[in-house]
């Protein structure tokens, strides 16, 4: 018992453990699938970002390269050289100013100006404006300083005069191998930002110090990617490159560095949402493009693939369970069918055995019944023996007397009287012949050939055998035929035998009755032929009626009744496909023979 008690909990625990393991495996697999999908989506995003960055870099370079040559060409203008040599010639300055103004307009740059070796602006395209650079000291500007040292410079900065940012190109002005000053062109590159704003990601451009000077997000401008070192901050302060801006750190945090120039970072405005950051260096200028893409789509596709993988595994599990269940159910069904087949086979065998036993029993019964019918006939014969003897003795005595008389009458020549005697003798012999014929027929074991039997005729034939008793015992006999010529499908002899039996029983029953009436009725109803035999005897008490058709049931004194008559009669009628039954009538007994109705015209 202990084993069976501890069985189910152990099995349940094992099933639970298996379920947990399956769940863990499913989660791991789904996680891996989600990760893979996330990586693939990130790669796609990186490719798109890299392409954008390439595009931005190319358009920036294109813009800048358009102006690269411009400062260098100014030394070709003789008035420029002349002004640098004669800095106090105001007329000349006006001409150079006008020239620069026109050149600036044509080239699309912001400002063009000329600086002497002391770093003082000699002429400028914006000489008419209130922000005119003419007379300004710009030696502190690194690009001017570099150009004065013989290195053509490029520099992005915020204008100190009007606060406008731009890219400054500077180039030394040489005449006869001697440097006279510096030509500077300022170009506005902020217009590039307008193109960036239309992209999906955020773009920013930083200088070599990590200061953002162009950005698709205006608020990020003049902020730094990382805090500036004190030296750099000091230097920027001195050059006034981003004059008027605090250059505070942007607050971008790197979460994870990916291979190449990519990293996962968070932005200052949303520290919880990771963003993909890609950089692209612009080598000659030491600038750096940063492109930031939203990782939402990556996360969504990773999540979707994770859920999809879970779903697929759940479906697979369901399929496996379903198939297992089906196999089990089929096995159970097959076992059940096999079991049923075996029991059916056993049942069939049992039935066929029973059937053969029944057939043997029926055969025995039929034989016994047939013998009983014979015995019954003999019994009736025995009963009738006295009457028959009497019946025959009387005509025999008459025959002897009449034949003796006939001989004497012939000897005396009274031939006419002798002839009358002989006629009477012939009648008597004929009557005796009929009687013995009937008896022979009754005693014969009949075969069961069925034919249409006229019932009235059968009643008359049966009556003939009991006629004498009817007369002697002063019984009134009536035949009531409601339907004329009703015919039943049966055997005449055996039906007559049944009728004789019923009549004899009625006569026996009425022996002590004051009123003695025997009534036989014939009719047809519902496709059946009916013969009803009624008497005015004592009738059938319940205890008698219950046993009427049992063989050897009799209430008659010994030697008179065998108790076989009704049993045999009932069997005979049943063999015809009919029924014999008894009813208690108002006065006396009523027996009903029901037989299959023969088609009119059947013989």
CB 338 → ligand ADP: shortest distance, Å?
55
> Applying CB under 6 A, does 561 fall inside the site for ligand ADP?
yes
Binding mask 21-60 for ligand ADP (x = CB under 6 A): ----------------------------------------
Give 203 or 506: the residue with its C-beta nearer to ligand ADP.
506
CB 508 → ligand ADP: shortest distance, Å?
7
List the one residue out of 490, 508, 474, 514 whose CA is nearest residue 575.
490
287 SS3 class: strand
With CB under 6 A as the contact rule, the residue among 103, 192, 553, 581 that binds ligand ADP is 553
> Applying CB under 6 A, does 165 fall inside the site for ligand ADP?
no
> Applying CB under 6 A, does 548 fall inside the site for ligand ADP?
yes
List the one residue out of 423, 422, 461 whose CA is nearest residue 442.
461
Give 101 or 535: the residue with its C-beta nearer to ligand ADP.
535
Give 75 or 535: the residue with its C-beta nearer to ligand ADP.
535
CB 568 → ligand ADP: shortest distance, Å?
8
CB 362 → ligand ADP: shortest distance, Å?
23
With CB under 6 A as the contact rule, the residue among 239, 441, 492, 554 that binds ligand ADP is 554
What is the Cα–Cα distance from 398 to 393, expressed in whole angstroms? 8
Size of the site for ligand ADP (CB under 6 A): 22
Instruction: Point out which span in 6-14, 243-251, 516-524, 547-555 binds ligand ADP (CB under 6 A).
Output: 547-555
CB 593 → ligand ADP: shortest distance, Å?
13
Q: Segment 505-544, which members bind ligand ADP (CB under 6 A)? A: 505-506, 509, 535, 537-538, 540, 544
What is the Cα–Cα distance from 551 to 369, expressed in whole angstroms? 10
What is the Cα–Cα distance from 63 to 57, expressed in whole angstroms? 10
- Residue ranges of alpha helices (H) inside 177-295 are 192-197, 230-239
Give 175 or 545: the residue with its C-beta nearer to ligand ADP.
545
Report the phi/psi class of residue 580: left, alpha or beta, with left for phi > 0 and alpha for psi in -120 to 50.
beta
CB 460 → ligand ADP: shortest distance, Å?
20
What is the Cα–Cα distance from 244 to 163, expressed in whole angstroms? 8
296 SS3 class: helix
> Applying CB under 6 A, does 565 fall inside the site for ligand ADP?
yes
> Applying CB under 6 A, does 566 fall inside the site for ligand ADP?
yes
Instruction: Point out which span in 12-20, 404-412, 481-489, 559-567 binds ligand ADP (CB under 6 A).
Output: 559-567
Q: Which residue has the tokens 């014999």?
A: 580
> Applying CB under 6 A, does 103 fall inside the site for ligand ADP?
no
What is the Cα–Cα distance from 498 to 504, expressed in whole angstroms? 10
What is the Cα–Cα distance from 461 to 439, expressed in whole angstroms? 12
What is the Cα–Cα distance from 52 to 450, expressed in whole angstroms? 114
Measured CA angle at 549 (ends 535, 591), to 5 deg = 25
What is the Cα–Cα distance from 378 to 369, expressed in whole angstroms? 14
Give 464 or 553: the residue with its C-beta nearer to ligand ADP.
553
> Applying CB under 6 A, does 497 fall inside the site for ligand ADP?
no
Measured CA angle at 498 (ends 493, 504), to 5 deg = 120
Distances (CA, A) of 67 to 75, 103, 107, 184, 437: 15, 12, 8, 11, 158
**Angle between helical axes of 492-509 and 565-575 (0-180°, round to 10):** 150
CB 548 → ligand ADP: shortest distance, Å?
5
With CB under 6 A as the contact rule, the residue among 152, 199, 563, 596 that binds ligand ADP is 563
Give 491 or 535: the residue with its C-beta nearer to ligand ADP.
535
Give contact residues for ligand ADP (rule: CB under 6 A): 501, 505-506, 509, 535, 537-538, 540, 544, 548, 553-556, 561-567, 589
């Amino acid at each position: 018992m202990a084993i069976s008690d501890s069985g189910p909990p152990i099995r349940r625990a094992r099933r639970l453990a298996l379920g947990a393991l399956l769940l863990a495996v499913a989660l791991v697999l789904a996680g891996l699938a989600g990760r893979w999908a996330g990586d693939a989506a990130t790669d796609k995003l990186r490719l798109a970002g890299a392409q954008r960055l390439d595009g931005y870099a190319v358009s920036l370079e294109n813009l800048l390269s358009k102006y690269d040559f411009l400062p260098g060409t100014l030394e070709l203008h003789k008035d420029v050289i002349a002004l640098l040599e004669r800095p106090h010639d105001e007329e000349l300055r006006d001409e150079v100013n006008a020239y620069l103004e026109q050149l600036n307009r044509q080239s699309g740059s912001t400002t063009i100006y000329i600086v002497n070796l002391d770093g003082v602006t000699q002429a400028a395209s914006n000489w008419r404006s209130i922000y005119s650079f003419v007379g300004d000291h710009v030696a502190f500007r690194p690009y001017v300083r570099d150009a004065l040292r013989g290195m053509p410079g490029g520099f992005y900065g915020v204008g100190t005069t009007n606060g406008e940012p731009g890219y400054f190109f500077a180039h030394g002005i040489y005449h006869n191998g001697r440097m006279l000053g510096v030509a500077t062109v300022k170009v506005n590159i902020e217009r590039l930002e307008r193109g960036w704003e239309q992209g999906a990601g955020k773009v920013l451009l930083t200088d070599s110090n990590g200061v953002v000077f162009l950005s698709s997000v205006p608020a990020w401008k003049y902020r730094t990617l990382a805090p500036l070192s004190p030296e750099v901050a000091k230097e920027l302060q001195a050059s006034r490159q981003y004059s008027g801006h605090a250059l505070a750190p942007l607050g971008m945090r790197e979460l994870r560095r990916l291979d190449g120039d990519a990293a996962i970072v968070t932005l200052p405005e949303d520290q919880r949402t990771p963003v993909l950051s890609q950089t692209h260096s612009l080598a000659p200028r030491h600038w750096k493009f940063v492109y930031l893409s939203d990782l939402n789509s990556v996360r969504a596709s990773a999540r979707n693939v994770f859920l999809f993988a879970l779903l697929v595994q759940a479906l697979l599990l369901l399929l496996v369970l379903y198939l297992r269940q089906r196999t089990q159910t089929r096995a159970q069904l097959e076992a059940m069918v096999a079991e049923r087949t075996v029991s059916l086979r056993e049942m069939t065998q049992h039935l066929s055995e029973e059937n053969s036993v029944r057939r043997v029993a029926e055969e025995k019964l039929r034989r016994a019944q047939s013998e009983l019918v014979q015995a019954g006939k003999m019994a009736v014969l025995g009963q009738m023996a006295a009457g028959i003897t009497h019946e025959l003795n009387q005509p025999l005595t008459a025959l002897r007397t009449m034949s003796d008389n006939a001989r004497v009458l012939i000897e005396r020549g009274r031939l006419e009287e002798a002839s009358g005697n002989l006629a009477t003798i012939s009648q008597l012999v004929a009557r005796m012949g009929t009687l013995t014929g009937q008896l022979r027929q009754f005693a014969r074991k009949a075969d069961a050939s069925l034919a249409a039997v006229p019932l009235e005729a059968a009643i008359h034939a049966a009556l003939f055998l009991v006629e004498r008793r009817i007369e002697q015992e002063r019984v009134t006999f009536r035949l009531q035929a409601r339907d004329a010529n009703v015919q039943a499908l049966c055997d005449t002899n055996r039906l007559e035998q049944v009728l004789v039996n019923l009549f004899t029983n009625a006569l026996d029953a009425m022996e002590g009755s004051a009123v003695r009436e025997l009534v036989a009725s014939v009719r047809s109803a519902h496709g059946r032929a009916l013969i009803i035999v009624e008497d005015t005897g004592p009738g059938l008490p319940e205890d008698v009626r219950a046993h009427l058709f049992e063989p050897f049931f009799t209430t008659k004194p010994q030697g008179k009744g065998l108790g076989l008559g009704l049993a045999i009669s009932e069997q005979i009628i049943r063999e015809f496909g009919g029924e014999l039954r008894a009813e208690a009538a108002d006065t006396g007994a009523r027996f009903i023979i029901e037989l299959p109705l023969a088609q009119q015209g059947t013989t």
